[in-house]
Structure 1
Amino acid sequence: MTPEADSGDAAAVWLLALGQTLLYAGSYYSFPALLPALEADLGWTKATFAAGPTLGFLIMAGLTLWSGRLVDRGFGGELLIWAPLMVAGGVLLLGLVRSPLGWNLGWAIIGVAQAACLYETCFAFLTRRLGGDARAAITRVTLVAGFAGTLAFPLGHVLGQAFGGQGGMLVFAAMIAGMVVPMNVIAVVRLRRKARVAGLARPADAPGALRRALAKPAFWAISGAVALIWLNHGILLTYVLVLFQDRGAGPALAATAAACVGPAQVAGRLALLMAGARISTATATLASLASVVVAGGLLWAAGAAMPLIFAFAVLQGAGAGLLSILRPVLVAETLGRDGFGAISGAVAIAPILASAAAPSVGAALLAMGGTPAVYAATWLMALAGLATAALLLRRV
């Protein structure tokens, strides 16, 4: 990329990165960030609240391949512009409803929209528009968007105290509609102009590549390992304030510790970039999974030493942050680069489904065994994910 082009592309990519940050903060993270205030507002059980995000993730998983096909047909920019408005509408509804039916409807709307405007769509759009420069652009997006939780948890704490849980949702909805959409419009226009000037075209599809990948044990091993970690991460993230308070932290300190997950994700990604070729994908993958295992042990031990919640947040965030970058690299190295987009999208379904199940699984664990059941189950998930990846990587 030339310096001139880099100047124009960089501005557009940074705008998309900020847009992804605000989207994740206003939709994905707003629920756990406002959960205590929402419980005070509406008085529902955790299982009732959790049904909404679960429904949203299930819908998102079902539509991921559909949105990918739309990007391939040249509609990625439209998705990134209009779908955030739909997300804002769903979050707005969450701030107004008084019944579980309305709550679930709001999350259904969010699920449809998220399938069209979060990471998978953003990365596919960047790949289509920037060609060989897409890898650097995607890295920038993940580095910035890693701060979504850092923004959402303290902001959610302040908004919950000032306006209540539903009032906080209304503020998040306004943030998405008023900030994300204009930034995405500018970014899409600039990147499309760059693609036209460079004469970039979408690479041809590789017929049968996905079918061949599905026949390989490595595909299912990667999907299973990532799904286990995303189920672990989703449960812990959804109920992080509850768990931290159970370990002895006050509401403000719990929100502060939760906000450390985002910077830790970014730190993990930066460390991987700085290490470069000196660390193999296999080693980095095992290190990221081991980090999540150790984090679970520290959260358990925080009952005796409450400050360990900060160490948990750092290791959990670093491990999950690394895995989000390593997943597509691992797919390419073990399953090949032919038909990469379709294969990567298929692998992404497993963690999305895990994220869908996480709120409800976490609520069920809390109902059946309280916080000890959550600590034990999530640690076993991390351990199983590490073991699965270790077996896979011994064979490649």
Structure 2
Amino acid sequence: MTSPERPPVAAIVALGLTQIIGYGSLYYSFSILAPDMAHDLSWSTEWIFGALSVALLIGGLAAPVMGTWIDRFGAGRIMTSGSAIAAAALVACAFAPGKIAFVAALIGIEIASNLVQYGAAFALLVQIRPRVAQRSITYLTLIAGFASTIFWPITTALHSHLSWQNVYLIFAALNLVVCLPIHAWLSRGVSETRKRGADEIAKHVEPSLHPSVRRPAFVLMVTGFALESFVNSALLVHMVPVMSALGLGAMAVMVGTLFGPSQVLSRFVNMVFGGGLSQLTLAIICAVLLPASLVVLVATAPPVLGALLFAVIFGLGSGLNSIVYGTLPLALFGSEGYGRRQGQIMSVRLVVSSMAPFALAFLMRNLGVSWSLSIAALLSTGAVAAFSAIMPMTRAVGGPRMVPDPGDA
């Protein structure tokens, strides 16, 4: 039996593949396909992103219940069901006869996203090996960081030959044929491991915050995540359109593809050199990188060099954010009830960020790209303040939890 002190490598690699497919097919592809969706439905592009916002909002409202299910039934079973729902929702979206059916299918896609993407995957890693979950989450995000790099070009290439409906049917097949069997296998593996070594699996990660400060710390943490999610959601959905609006033309997709490798780079650097950083310090660093990237883009556009630098800095910040989203709640509040807590965090993040794609599209249409990006930069600085406000609370009880050194046995 694998030692509970070592990350479950096979599970991490398998989850990495499903995260690439999950994020690529359910999220990153949308901005590429949205213009043709709008054309077929006789909607403006703003209304298509408005429909996405509604779907994100409903998915966010449902997230706390899903988090409870993860704790009760196990993340593996929930992710298996999520893969089936994702495939069905993509097929329903492709065959939607009108606007109402399209929006309903889009809601199904966002609900499925909550069941198969990072929130559920992080909970699965916590349930498999709680004591090494922080390291496992770092490894997982290192693999999954290639989702945008892989799926933006793939979606663009497929869409140059196929309708958006057929592209969605291909993505549905990937969720059904690849992701569902992997999640089912992981679900069985967790159940068998619990039967063989319940005492080892039961070892929990203890909270690092005093009970008296956990509630305000949780509110501040969720506020920081929500503000970052708003900016990330808006920019990731509109990455290629924003680059095009800034005059980059055919270079827009190339600039966007740098985002994924930058995410991976930040996670690799953190994995190798971040052993001495607390989770909270890591959260503050990634929060600073987001507004910094936007300042660079606004100050230098339209030259390509500035856009490339933006993509790199933005990718670095977003890459670290994906790690912190999973590890900071674990370090501050422990592993007990992790799925429920992730559901609560996901709910607030999605409800706040649900307005982001539509809001940015509206702002760009009425204020222009530069002013819109400046507003996004201002919002993201609020995350820096929120995470910084937690620091005195951790010092009062002995300091924040440290990131485990990936080299430790």
Report the TM-score when normalising by structure 2.
0.85
| Structure 1 residues 4-31: Cα deviation after superposition (integer angstroms, max 9, x where no partner) | 9979x42233112211210111101121
Once the 2 structures are TM-superposed, how far is the Cα of residue 344 of structure 1 from its aligned partner?
Answer: 4.3
In structure 2, relative to structure 1, the CA distance for the partners of 1:366 and 1:183 (3 Å cut) is same
Partner of 2:258: 260
What amino acid sits opposite 2:222 in the alignment? S
Once the 2 structures are TM-superposed, how far is the Cα of residue 289 of structure 1 from its aligned partner?
Answer: 1.6
Partner of 1:198: 197
C-alpha contact 1:297 1:379 (8 A) present in aligned 2? yes
C-alpha contact 2:35 2:45 (8 A) present in aligned 1? no
- Aligned pair count reads 391
Query: Which residues of 2 match residues 108-257 of structure 1 at below 5 A?
Result: 108-199=107-198, 200=200, 215-216=215-216, 218-251=217-250, 253-257=251-255
Q: Which moved more, 1:228-237 or 1:192-201?
A: 192-201
Query: Which residues of 2 match residues 197-346 of structure 1 at below 5 A?
Result: 197-199=196-198, 200=200, 215-216=215-216, 218-251=217-250, 253-332=251-330, 334=332, 340-346=338-344
Report the TM-score when normalising by structure 1.
0.88
| Structure 1 residues 27-68: Cα deviation after superposition (integer angstroms, max 9, x where no partner) | 011212323443455452122211332222222222222222
In structure 2, relative to structure 1, the CA distance for the partners of 1:290 and 1:392 (3 Å cut) is same
| Structure 1 residues 268-323: Cα deviation after superposition (integer angstroms, max 9, x where no partner) | 11111212333343433222122111110122134241332221111111102112
Unaligned runs of 5+ in 2: 395-409
Once the 2 structures are TM-superposed, how far is the Cα of residue 118 of structure 1 from its aligned partner?
Answer: 2.0
C-alpha contact 2:240 2:253 (8 A) present in aligned 1? yes
| Counterpart-to-counterpart distance in 2, 1:210 and 1:40 | 54
Partner of 2:30: 31
What amino acid sits opposite 1:134 in the alignment? A
Instruction: Give percent identity, aligned residues only.
Output: 23
| Counterpart-to-counterpart distance in 1, 2:331 and 2:133 | 18
Unaligned runs of 5+ in 1: none
| Counterpart-to-counterpart distance in 2, 1:390 and 1:211 | 19
| Structure 1 residues 147-180: Cα deviation after superposition (integer angstroms, max 9, x where no partner) | 1111111011111211133332222222222221
| Counterpart-to-counterpart distance in 1, 2:60 and 2:214 | 17
Once the 2 structures are TM-superposed, how far is the Cα of residue 360 of structure 1 from its aligned partner?
Answer: 1.9
Q: Which moved more, 1:363-372 or 1:286-295?
A: 363-372
Of 355, 369, 377, 1:379 maps to: 377
C-alpha contact 2:284 2:384 (8 A) present in aligned 1? yes
Q: Which moved more, 1:147-156 or 1:255-264?
A: 255-264
C-alpha contact 1:57 1:111 (8 A) present in aligned 2? yes
| Counterpart-to-counterpart distance in 1, 2:232 and 2:223 | 14
Structure with more relative contact order (C-alpha pairs < 8 Å, separation 6 or more): 2
Matched position secondary structure for 1:120: helix
What amino acid sits opposite 1:297 in the alignment? V
| Counterpart-to-counterpart distance in 1, 2:130 and 2:278 | 24
| Structure 1 residues 198-217: Cα deviation after superposition (integer angstroms, max 9, x where no partner) | 235557999xx99966742x
| Structure 1 residues 330-381: Cα deviation after superposition (integer angstroms, max 9, x where no partner) | 4455556665554444333322223322122122213332323321221111
Partner of 1:15: 14
In structure 2, relative to structure 1, the CA distance for the partners of 1:68 and 1:336 (3 Å cut) is closer
What amino acid sits opposite 1:164 in the alignment? S
Give me the CA root mean square deviation.
3.0
In structure 2, relative to structure 1, the CA distance for the partners of 1:286 and 1:250 (3 Å cut) is same
What amino acid sits opposite 2:113 in the alignment? Q
| Counterpart-to-counterpart distance in 2, 1:188 and 1:39 | 38
